[in-house]
Structures are given as C-alpha cells and as structure tokens.
Amino acid sequence: MRISVEQRRARLGVRQGLARRLDDPQAAAESVVALHATDPATVYLSAGARLTDPGVEVVERALYDERTLVRMTGMRRTLFVVPSDLVPVVQWSSAAAIAAKERRTLSKALLESGFDAAWVAGVETSVVEALGSAGEASGAQLGGLVGGLREQIVYGRGKSYETTQSVGMRLLYLMAMEGTLVRQGRPTGTWISGAHGWALSGDIPALEVREAQAELVRRWLAAFGPGTEADIKWWTGWTLGDVRKALAAVGAVEVALDEGVGYVLADDVDLVEPEPWAALLPALDPTPMGWQARDWYLPAEHRADLFDRTGNIGPTVWWNGRVVGGWATRESGEITWELLEDVGSDARTAIEAEAARLSSWLGTTKITPRFRTPLEHKLST
C-alpha cells in the first residue's frame, strides 16, 4: 500500500486535533502523544489550537486541579506534558534510561567536588521528607529547607562547558527524571512562567522496558503514522534496534512513502478526508516536531525563516497540513502573521479567522518564544 503526501497531510489534521477539534486538554495531549513543555507557553498554545473551547483556565485545571496532565522529562531528554495514564510508559520507555546516565555523570561531578554517595543519599532523603511535610515547594524554598541543595559543585570539569552550579540545580531534576519528584505546582508568576513548584510524584507503576517502548510506539503511530524508522528513532531518542523491536511488538505494517518504507498500525489503513483547515501553532509544537523528515509538510525553502540555529521551530501558520508561514505577538499582544507563499483567498480568510480565535483568549499577553526564529523576531517588532 502507498500513502501519498496529500493523505499524510489529511491524517495529520484529523488525528492531531487540527481539522477536527477536541473537547479537553487531555484529549489534545493524547492527539499528539504529549505536549512539548520546554517553553511553558507552548503547552497552553498547543492545547488551545486543538480545543473547541480554548483558554488558560481549562489547561490550568487539567494540570493543577484534576492532574490529568503531568509535566515530566521524557523522550530525547525533553520536557513534556503528558496524559496521566502515559506517565509509566514515558518513564520506563525513555526517562529511566536518561536518568541512569545522568546519575552517573552527576555522581562523578559530586565526588570530584567532595560529596560522596552517602552524602548525596542524605540530601535526597531530606528533600523527600521536606516535600512530604510541605506538600509543594519552589527550588528556592527547598534550598532553605535542605542546606545540601545550596552546596556548589563544578559540572563538566575540564570541558568547554565547565560551570559551577548548586547541587539543587542538578539533583532535583535528576530526582524528577527518576520519578521521585514532579514539577506540578502552579508557577509563581503568570501562566507563561516556568517557575513551577516541586512535589513528590507518588508511585509510578512499573513496566517492563520493552512493554513501555511498544506502547509508546503504538501511540506515536496512531497520532503520527505513517512514519519511517528514522522518524521514530529521532522522536524517541532510542537506538534503531529498540525502534525495530517496538514496531514488531505492535505488529506495525509497512507502507510506501515518498521517503521510502513507512509504518502504520495494522488497523489504520483507511483513507481520511477532512474539511479544509487552518491553524496557528506555537514554537516547538508537537506537530512540526513530530517527524525527522519534514519536506512533505514543511518546504525546505521556509526553514531559514522558521527555525533557529539549533533546529528549534518557531510559531507556524498551517493550511491543510502544510506550513505556509509564521506568526508572532507584538508588545501589545496583537497577533501578526506572514505567509511565505501564495495560498489563495480562501486560505487567507481561514487563517485570519484562526488569528482572531487565538486573540480572543490570548488577550494582551505577549508571547516570546524561548528560542527566537528570524520570522518571529521580525514580526514581533
């Protein structure tokens, strides 16, 4: 079976809540497996682009009251917001292996700075006890409660990136990667702030690594398929061997793509026919970051305007499954956008409606992506 570029674009819109919107933030996250959270604003903007009734409050309720969404480090050492039922899958398929490597690196840095394993274990115990009593605390508050977190270490000794940091700067994030802590508190600033409080994560159900990897690939194929082995390898950060074992475990079937051999779930071969759609997606949105090979939805000639120097994508304008421009907010919060190609009057009308829809709940909030791109920078000024 061959799946055309046009059909891939159609699937993208339907599966990922862009052509057919969704009712709640958990469904929005599930539609792309997980929401990117490196930039705090992205979580709200990505959810909002996929919701029938977008807004800050509905996402905050899912994150902080209902806890149907959880912030955690996952694939490629990236910070995500994931549906709560996916936490064990991400933990045992990806985060645990990353944490084991980070534990070795941090232990070496601590020992070189005069802090042995027994001392570190004592600090970790104190952090757990402090949060058990306080319930939730910022990094600064924890530093006041656990003095060891304020001690200084040299990280990357002898390397070009050598730096001096507090123990807490590394240890708290490691404890989160290992599943002991979670950054689930409301930010001390506004909703676009990244200053979230720490709390104990509670027990994360144990999964066998292969089981967890198979489930993660199953969800990726349901949301992003078809995709190639290279796409899945890039998105997960796993070895090619891990990817192939997971594809075999879920019974993925081969399809022909322009890039070569792709994979879909065995029961996912029907054609998709969405209505025309437009979307304004934020920087680092899961959709443009979902595949390694992007030419079928993001023309190569647009990349210099839409990516920063390290490969982070900025805010994008979409028409029927294809990136056609970019957008930004000015100091007043006004949304401004620019097309990078001629898409016709119907598309312009639909994009204008999407910009108005976004503005209706964003209000006067100025969004400055953590990673600035040329077009976003130009439009914002």
> pLDDT (tens digit, 0 to 9) for every residue of the chain, 381 residues total?
999 999 999 999 999 999 999 999 999 999 999 999 999 999 999 999 999 999 999 999 999 999 999 999 999 999 999 999 999 999 999 999 999 999 999 999 999 999 999 999 999 999 999 999 999 999 999 999 999 999 999 888 888 888 899 999 999 999 999 999 999 888 888 999 888 899 999 899 999 999 999 999 999 999 999 999 999 999 999 999 999 999 999 999 999 999 999 999 999 988 898 999 999 999 999 999 999 999 999 999 999 999 999 999 999 999 999 999 999 999 999 999 999 999 999 999 999 999 999 999 999 999 999 999 999 999 999
Q: Could you tell me the pTM of the whole model?
A: 0.95
In a domain, 361, yes or no: yes
Q: What is the domain count for the chain?
A: 2
The angle, 0 to 180 degrees and rounded to 10, between the axes of the packed helices 229-236 and 240-249 is 110
Strand order through the sheet with 35-36 = 35-36, 79-83, 69-73
pLDDT at 234: 97
pLDDT at 194: 86
**Which H helix or E strand runs over 141?**
helix 139-145
Spatial separation of the C-alpha atoms in residues 70 and 80, rounded to whole Å = 8
The residues that bridge with 165 in the sheet, in sequence order, are 153
pLDDT at 184: 84
φ, ψ (nearest 5 deg) of residue 365: -70, 130
Q: Which DSSP string do the residues of 98-138 spell out, in sequence order? A: HHHHHHHHHHHHHHHTT--HHHHHHHHHHHHHHHHHHS-B-
The candidate with the shortest Cα–Cα distance to 166, out of 188, 147, 141, 187, is 147
Spatial separation of the C-alpha atoms in residues 321 and 276, rounded to whole Å = 9
pLDDT at 155: 82
In a domain, 340, yes or no: yes
pLDDT at 187: 87
> By the 8 A CB rule, do 54 and 47 touch?
yes
DSSP state letter for 153:
E
Among 145, 179, 200, identify where a domain stops.
Answer: 200
In a domain, 124, yes or no: yes
Spatial separation of the C-alpha atoms in residues 120 and 122, rounded to whole Å = 5
Among 200, 233, 264, identify where a domain stops.
Answer: 200
In a domain, 131, yes or no: yes
Among 143, 176, 200, identify where a domain stops.
Answer: 200
In a domain, 106, yes or no: yes
pLDDT at 158: 83
In a domain, 31, yes or no: no
- Structural domain containing residue 372: 298-380
